Amino acid sequence: MPADKGAPKVKRDTIHFVNAYPTSETERLNNKRLVRAHVGQWISTQTKGRIVAAAAGPASLVEPPLAASDDRPHPPVEAVDADSDDPYLSSTSPSSTFTSGSSPSSHDSPGSSTSSASRDVTPIFPKAPHPRLPLVIIPSQTGTPSPANAYSYQQQVDDEDERSFADWAESGTSSSRGYIEIVGAGSLDPFRAYPTNIDPKLIRLSDEYCISCLWPGLTPGPSGTNMQSWFPLGVSDPVLFTAFLFGSLSHMRVQALKGWIPRHIFRHRQQRLLEHAEMETVRLVSREMSNPSRAVCDAMIWSVVCMAHNKAEDDVNGLPDIPFTAPMQRLQWLDVYGCLRPNLIHIGGLIQMVNLRGGIEKIELPGLASVISFSDIVTSSTFLLHPVFPWIPLEMSRKNKTMQELLGYRDADIDRYYVQHQHLGLSRSIAEILCAMNTYTNLVDQAQRGHYDLSLLADQRSIVHYTLLCLPPAAPHQTDPNSNISQAPPLQPQDIIYEALRLACLIYSVGIVLPIPPQSSPIMNLAELLRNVLSNPNHPSLWTTPQAQVALLWILTLGGIAATHTPHRSWYIERLCRVVEHHKIASYEHLSRYLAMLAWYPVACDTPGMELWFALERARMYR
Q: What is the pLDDT of residues 187-204, one digit of tens each?
A: 455 545 556 667 777 788
Does a structural domain hold residue 350?
yes
Give 38's contacts (C-beta < 8 A, 6+ positions apart).
16, 133, 135
Does a structural domain hold residue 384?
yes
Look at strands 135-138 and 17-19 and give their pairing. parallel
Which sign, positive or negative, has the C-alpha torsion 300, 306, 307, 309? Answer: positive
Q: What is the DSSP string of 325-376?
A: --S-TTGGGHHHHTTS---HHHHHHHHHHHHHHTSGGG--STTHHHHHHHHH
Does a structural domain hold residue 526?
no
Of 79, 86, 89, whose CA–CA distance to 129 is shortest? 79
Q: What is the pLDDT of residue 80?
A: 35
Q: Are 498 and 474 in contact (CB under 8 A)?
A: yes
Give 520's contacts (C-beta < 8 A, 6+ positions apart).
338, 339, 340, 341, 342, 378, 381, 382
Does a structural domain hold residue 322?
yes
Q: How many domains, in total, are found in the chain?
A: 1
Mean pLDDT of all residues in 371-399: 96
Range name among 459-463, 542-546, 595-599 with the lowest pLDDT average: 542-546
- Judged by phi (left if over 0) then psi (alpha if -120 to 50, else beta), residue 134 lies in beta
Q: What is the pLDDT of residue 379?
A: 97
| Structural domain boundaries enclosing 258 | 160-398
Output the average pLDDT for the chain.
Answer: 76
Of the chain, the percentage scoring pLDDT greater than 90 comes to: 49
Give 42's contacts (C-beta < 8 A, 6+ positions apart).
13, 132, 133
Cα–Cα distance, 416 to 599 (Å, whole number)? 12
Does a structural domain hold residue 256?
yes
In the predicted structure, residue 323 carries a pLDDT above the cut 60: yes
Beta bridge partners of 557: none
Flag whether the pTM goes above 0.85.
Answer: no
What Cα–Cα distance (Å) separates residue 291 from each residue in 100, 240, 282, 300, 305?
A: 18, 15, 15, 11, 19
Q: What is the pLDDT of residues 28-62, one digit of tens each?
A: 777 767 766 666 665 666 555 555 554 454 433 33
Does a structural domain hold residue 425?
no
CA atoms within 13 A on the CB side of 109: 3
Of 217, 210, 230, whose CA–CA distance to 365 is shortest? 230
Cα–Cα distance, 615 to 617 (Å, whole number)? 5
Does a structural domain hold residue 126?
no
Residue type, 132: R
Q: What is the pLDDT of residue 194?
A: 59
In the predicted structure, residue 398 carries a pLDDT above the cut 60: yes
Cα–Cα distance, 385 to 468 (Å, whole number)? 11
Of 327, 302, 303, 333, whose CA–CA distance to 218 is shortest? 333
In the predicted structure, residue 617 carries a pLDDT above the cut 60: yes
Cα–Cα distance, 22 to 34 (Å, whole number)? 13
Mean pLDDT of all residues in 17-32: 69
In the predicted structure, residue 186 carries a pLDDT above the cut 60: no
Q: Are 196 and 203 in contact (CB under 8 A)?
A: yes
Three-state DSSP state, 605: helix
Q: What is the DSSP string of 178-229?
A: HHHHHHHTTSSSTT---SS-S-HHHHHHHHHHIIIIIHHHHS-STHHHHHHH
What phi, psi does 136 have (nearest 5°)?
A: -80, 120
Does a structural domain hold residue 19?
no
Residue type, 254: V
